[in-house]
Amino acid sequence: MGDAPEAPVKEGDTVEGRYRIIRRLDDGGMSSVFLAEHLLIKRRVAMKVLRPELAMDADVIDRFMNEARAAGTLGHPNIVESTDMGFTRDGVPYIVFEYLEGSLLTDEIYRVKGMPVRRAVRIARQIASALSAAHNAGVIHRDLKTDNVFLTDKEEAGDHVKVLDFGISRFQDTDEDRPGTRSMVMGTPQFMAPEQITDPASVDRRVDIYALGVILYEMLTARRPFNNDDTDALVKDILEASPPPLNLPDAPAGLEVMLFTKLLAKDREQRYPTMKDVEDALEAFAGLIREGRASQSIPVATRMDQSEIRKAAAAMIALTPPPPKRSSGAVWLVGALIAGITGGALMYLDGQAKGTAAEDMAQRTTAIQGGVDAIGLAIENTIRSAQMRAEGIAQTPMLRAGVETDAATVRDMVGNDFLFKPGKGEVFELIQVRDNTRTSLLKIPAGGPSLEALAAGEARVASDGTNLVATVATPIAGQSGKAAGLVELQAPVDLEAATRALAPLVFEAKLVGLGAPLVIAKSEAKDATTTTIQLPLVLKTAKAEALEVSIVTRAPGAAAGPVKSYGLARNASWGVGGLLLVVYLLLLLKGRGQR
Phi, psi for residue 387 in degrees, rounded to 5? -65, -40
Of 65, 99, 96, 67, nearest to 82 (Cα)? 96
3-class DSSP assignment, residue 211: helix
- The Cα 71–Cα 98 span in angstroms is 10
Label residues 504-515 b or e (16+ Cβ within 10 Å = b). ebbbbbbbbbbe
- The Cα 298–Cα 570 span in angstroms is 22
- State the pLDDT at residue 143: 86
The yes-or-no verdict on residue 200 having pLDDT over 50 is: yes
Of 40-49, 131-140, 316-325, 337-346, which range is least confident? 316-325
CB-based burial of residue 228 (10 Å sphere; 0-12 exposed, 13-18 middle, 19+ buried)? Answer: middle
Phi, psi for residue 322 in degrees, rounded to 5? -70, 165
Residues whose CB falls within 8 Å of the CB of residue 297, separated by 6 or more in sequence, listed in order: 360
- Nearest-5° angle of CA 149, CA 115, CA 214? 50
Q: Do β-strands 437-444 and 149-154 pair in parallel, antiparallel, or remain unpaired?
A: unpaired
The yes-or-no verdict on residue 397 having pLDDT over 70 is: no
Phi, psi for residue 515 in degrees, rounded to 5? 105, -140
The yes-or-no verdict on residue 135 having pLDDT over 70 is: yes
For 555, other C-beta atoms within 10 Å of its C-beta total 10
More confident residue, 61 or 46: 46
Q: Report the pLDDT averaged over residues 292-321.
A: 40
- The Cα 283–Cα 340 span in angstroms is 43
Cα dihedral sign, 361-367-371-377: positive
Could you tell me if 167 and 143 are in contact, meaning their C-beta atoms sit under 8 angstroms apart?
Answer: yes
More confident residue, 553 or 214: 214
Q: What is the band of 351 on the pLDDT scale with cuts at 50, 70, 90?
A: low
> Which structural domains are found in the chain, ordered by start?
14-98 (3.30.200.20), 103-290 (1.10.510.10), 380-495 (3.30.450)
Strand partners, 534: 548
For 538, other C-beta atoms within 10 Å of its C-beta total 9
SS3 content of the chain, % helix, strand, coil (to 5): 45, 20, 35
Could you tell me if 566 and 349 are in contact, meaning their C-beta atoms sit under 8 angstroms apart?
Answer: yes
Q: What is the band of 144 on the pLDDT scale with cuts at 50, 70, 90?
A: very high
Q: What is the band of 166 on the pLDDT scale with cuts at 50, 70, 90?
A: confident
Q: Report the pLDDT averaged over residues 120-131.
A: 94
pTM here? 0.53
Distances (CA, A) of 45 to 19, 367, 442, 531, 581: 9, 47, 66, 63, 83
Of 188, 208, 194, nearest to 239 (Cα)? 194
Residues whose CB falls within 8 Å of the CB of residue 315, separated by 6 or more in sequence, listed in order: none
For 45, other C-beta atoms within 10 Å of its C-beta total 21
Rg (CA), the chain: 34
Of 52-66, 291-305, 399-413, 561-575, which range is least confident? 291-305
Residue type, 364: R
Could you tell me if 246 and 221 are in contact, meaning their C-beta atoms sit under 8 angstroms apart?
Answer: yes
The tens digit of pLDDT for each residue in 81-111 reads 888 888 888 888 888 988 988 999 999 999 9
Q: What is the band of 345 on the pLDDT scale with cuts at 50, 70, 90?
A: low
Q: What is the band of 151 on the pLDDT scale with cuts at 50, 70, 90?
A: very high
Could you tell me if 442 and 411 are in contact, meaning their C-beta atoms sit under 8 angstroms apart?
Answer: yes
Could you tell me if 428 and 420 are in contact, meaning their C-beta atoms sit under 8 angstroms apart?
Answer: yes
End-to-end, the C-alpha distance of the chain in Å comes to: 114
3-class DSSP assignment, residue 195: helix
- The Cα 366–Cα 360 span in angstroms is 10
Could you tell me if 383 and 461 are in contact, meaning their C-beta atoms sit under 8 angstroms apart?
Answer: yes
Of 2-6, 241-245, 247-251, 468-472, which range is least confident? 2-6
Q: Report the pLDDT averaged over residues 118-125.
A: 94
Q: What is the band of 3 on the pLDDT scale with cuts at 50, 70, 90?
A: low
Residues across the chain:
595
Strand order in the sheet with 483-492: 437-444, 427-434, 483-492, 468-477, 459-464, 515-516
3-class DSSP assignment, residue 547: strand
Please indicate whether residue 305 is annotated as part of the active site: no
Of 242-256, 309-323, 435-449, 460-474, which range is least confident? 309-323
- State the pLDDT at residue 414: 54
Could you tell me if 73 and 186 are in contact, meaning their C-beta atoms sit under 8 angstroms apart?
Answer: no
The yes-or-no verdict on residue 236 having pLDDT over 70 is: yes
- The Cα 145–Cα 157 span in angstroms is 23
Q: What is the band of 173 on the pLDDT scale with cuts at 50, 70, 90?
A: very low
Active-site choice (143, 208, 350, 373): 143
Of 255-269, 343-357, 368-382, 517-531, which range is least confident? 343-357
- Nearest-5° angle of CA 295, CA 299, CA 301? 165
Distances (CA, A) of 553 to 294, 298, 305, 504: 19, 10, 17, 12
Could you tell me if 581 and 333 are in contact, meaning their C-beta atoms sit under 8 angstroms apart?
Answer: yes
